Amino acid sequence: MLGCGNDPLPKPKGYLRLEYPEAEYKKVASSLPFTFEENELLASTSKVKSSGKTKGLNVKYPSLKATIYLSYKEVDNDNLDSLLRDAQNLTQKHTIKADEITYKPFENPKDKVYGMLYEVGGDAASQSQFYVTDSTKHFLSGSLYFYAKPNYDSIYPASEYLKKDIKRLMESIKWKEN
């Protein structure tokens, strides 16, 4: 005659659960004066491209619709300050759409790699940016971009996954001796 007595409640909204494979890394060697490690399951590195004094390569993640753009420049005479300023200014351009920008210094004195990782929160075009240098010969900057309209909630899981790959990339940089 009588039911359970509880009023029916609507079911809560479901959330998409994105799972990515545990990363396995391999060393990438190119004609550029450094090596690094990339996620061998999801990433592929393009050929080196040159434009003036800048050389670059792209670490592509087709299944995540993302690319990490790497730009390498030689440090000569007095250009380190301008290279650092340019890298910092590129990140600051995202303040229009960013909710926050946090930064984490990076140091690896053993391999002479020093830099900064910027994490951009909000609907900015790039979720992560970084640079590394040895302060005397080498300067490498990188930016993560997705091939989608920047919607922070939607790209957050992929952004967090790729942030780990960026950290690994920074940690694995080894400068080649000329």
Average pLDDT, the chain: 86
Q: Concatenated DSSP letters for the chain? A: -----PPP-PPPPP------PPP-EEEEE-SSSEEEEEETTT-EEPPPEEETTEEEEEEEEGGGTEEEEEEEEE--TT-HHHHHHHHHHHHHGGGGTEEEEEEEEEEETTTTEEEEEEEEEES-SEEEEEEEE-SSSEEEEEEEEESS---HHHHHHHHHHHHHHHHHHHHH-EEPP-
Answer yes or no: is pLDDT of 173 > 90. Answer: yes
Does residue 18 contact residue 11 with C-beta atoms inside 8 Å? no
Lowest mean pLDDT segment, chosen from 89-103, 118-132, 137-151: 89-103
What percent of the chain is predicted at pLDDT more than 90?
57
Tell me what pLDDT residue 78 has: 85
Does residue 134 contact residue 114 with C-beta atoms inside 8 Å? yes
Write the single-letter amino acid at 81. Answer: D
Q: What is the pTM of this model?
A: 0.85
Answer yes or no: is pLDDT of 7 > 90. Answer: no
For residues 28-51, average pLDDT: 94
Answer yes or no: is pLDDT of 98 > 70. Answer: no
Tell me what pLDDT residue 2 has: 57
Answer yes or no: is pLDDT of 16 > 60. Answer: no
Answer yes or no: is pLDDT of 15 > 60. Answer: no
Lowest mean pLDDT segment, chosen from 8-12, 56-60, 123-127: 8-12
